[in-house]
Amino acid sequence: MDAQDSIAKGRAARAKAPRSSHANWQPAPERRNPVEILAEQDETRQRDLVPLRHTRMLVSPFAFYRGGAAIMAADLQGTPSSGIQVQCCGDAHLANFGGFESPERSMVFDINDFDETLPGAWEWDLKRLAASLVVAARDRGFDDAIARRSVAEAARRYRTAMRDFAGQRNLDVWYARLDPEGIIGRWGAAVSKTDSVRLKNLARKGSSKTSLKAFAKLTEPVDGTVRIRNDPPLVERFDAFLPTTKAADMEVQARQWVQAYSRSLPPARRRVLAGFRLVDVARKVVGVGSVGTRCWIALFLGRDQGDPLFLQIKEAQNSVLSNYFRRSKYANQGQRVVMGQHLMQAASDILLGWERGEGVDGVHRDFYVRQLWDGKISADLSTIDAAMLPIYGQMCSWTLARAHARSGDRLAIASYLGSGDVFDRAIVEFSLVYADQNQNDFDTATAAVRSGELVTAS
């Protein structure tokens, strides 16, 4: 399809899904109880960690939103769509963006969670991001004027960024990235001196968050060697929560998975991993919505104890989008995550890979593997101020537009969005209404705890 065909496709899509129609959302008459959706997900998770998942989600409406990707995916079914598909993140809320060090050891800002990635409607990602701005604003006690402004500026930034990408050469889109200099260059005039200093300090903090720091925090000396420190429930050795025989079997299988996953790496990266020896493995609890999915961390040593490497081995289940779009072409869900991440991210972990393994229960599960800490940082949304929230929302929406421009028809999307603010205003209205629904769902789940339908950790 040439450029003019793409532009015509985008304009034609306005008839199918008028831009103003994105403002409209109301719960379907047959809408499922959100507690049922959570319970359905719990069935595939480690039973002893399910109460902790509920506890983390019910800290606040924003925490509930973070863990409710499956709830929102069900709600977005049947909403207006231009029909233009991209590689979706599937869970593009504010807390799933952050900084990390690229393979060149420079700090970049990007999407950092791809558990739900799948080809789908670009509008779904943008609506998930936009509504998270309203939920986060309310969580901070800001009035809806701040929420409206934050969403309007994020939607505008997505639209104008997509138009910019539509005018760029293909390789320029693939080379585009957001680094600290780019952030200051784009938003420096709007950022206070205090926030500018915070951004620079945050970048420095990320640069120090390495395997060496993880080694100091997560390990302890034992009989002349090192092992992962038991710190339940966040980090647990297998013998801390399994019978002795099963713990031994689980450790053997986890080691086999780690060693086998290297086959998914390019030969040069495989050579890097071969320079390390596996020392220890343990279970780790991660995230909010991910709690209960199987996740291990593996400690490797290279030259000596001053040369550590931590890998995270995380279970990959079906995307929450898989019930609404075509299922992944990858049979291995870990491969789905890795390939989606490579498509969407400007730079990815050099040790990112996948594997399928049989557990001690005889069930085959898919995993993806990445470095545990690799200069990773995230914004503290619990302290973000009213001036910085709209700027952070723009950083996220620019990044999302860049990811979508890489994998989808950026000319068609830009043509659909146009130069006016019709779409922006519609997304503002949608986000306010959906944030109300999230609050209702949070209240429903809280009531379910009181009634005993949902169990939380003591």
* Structure confidence at residue 108 as a pLDDT band (50, 70, 90): confident
245 contacts: CB under 8 Å, gap ≥ 6: none
The mean pLDDT of 128-153, rounded to a whole number, is 97
List Cα–Cα distances, 70 to 228, 329, 419, in angstroms.
Answer: 33, 20, 33
The sheet that has 235-236: what strands, in order across it? 235-236, 277-284, 295-301, 308-315, 364-371, 353-358
Which has the higher per-residue pLDDT, 193 or 173? 173
The pLDDT value recorded for residue 62 is: 97
- Quick one: what percent of the chain has pLDDT higher than 70? 93
Dihedral sign from CA coordinates of 435, 436, 439, 444: negative
Most confident of 20-24, 197-201, 278-282: 20-24
The pLDDT value recorded for residue 206 is: 47
> The tokens 């952050």 sit on which residue?
98
246 contacts: CB under 8 Å, gap ≥ 6: 238, 360
Residue 194, pLDDT above cutoff 70: no
Residue 368, pLDDT above cutoff 70: yes
DSSP 8-state assignment for residue 178: B
Which has the higher per-residue pLDDT, 211 or 339? 339
447 contacts: CB under 8 Å, gap ≥ 6: none
The pLDDT value recorded for residue 339 is: 97
Using only the alpha carbons of the chain, give its radius of gyration.
22
- Return the SS3 of 166: helix
Residue 202, pLDDT above cutoff 60: no
Residue 374, pLDDT above cutoff 70: no
* Structure confidence at residue 392 as a pLDDT band (50, 70, 90): very high
* 291 close to 49: Cβ distance less than 8 angstroms: yes
Residue 358, pLDDT above cutoff 90: no
Q: How many CB atoms sit inside 10 A of residue 141's CB?
A: 8
Q: Where exactly are the structural domains of the chain?
A: 3-206+382-451, 211-371
Residue 106, pLDDT above cutoff 90: no
Most confident of 128-137, 225-234, 283-292: 128-137
Which has the higher per-residue pLDDT, 35 or 214? 35
The pLDDT value recorded for residue 254 is: 78
List Cα–Cα distances, 142 to 134, 384, 428, in angstroms.
Answer: 9, 11, 16
End-to-end CA, the chain: 58
Residue 127, pLDDT above cutoff 70: yes
CA distance 349 to 265: 11
- Provide the token pair at 352: 């990112």
- What is the chain's mean pLDDT, rounded? 90
* Structure confidence at residue 187 as a pLDDT band (50, 70, 90): confident
Q: Write the pLDDT tens digit of every residue in 269-315.
A: 999 999 999 998 899 998 888 998 999 999 999 988 889 999 999 99
Q: Write the pLDDT tens digit of every residue in 67-94.
A: 999 999 999 998 999 999 999 999 999 9
- Provide the token pair at 258: 């780690």
The mean pLDDT of 391-405, rounded to a whole number, is 96
**Could you give the count of Cα atoms lying within 13 Å of 293 in the half-sphere of its Cβ?**
21
153 contacts: CB under 8 Å, gap ≥ 6: 390, 393, 394
The pLDDT value recorded for residue 252 is: 84
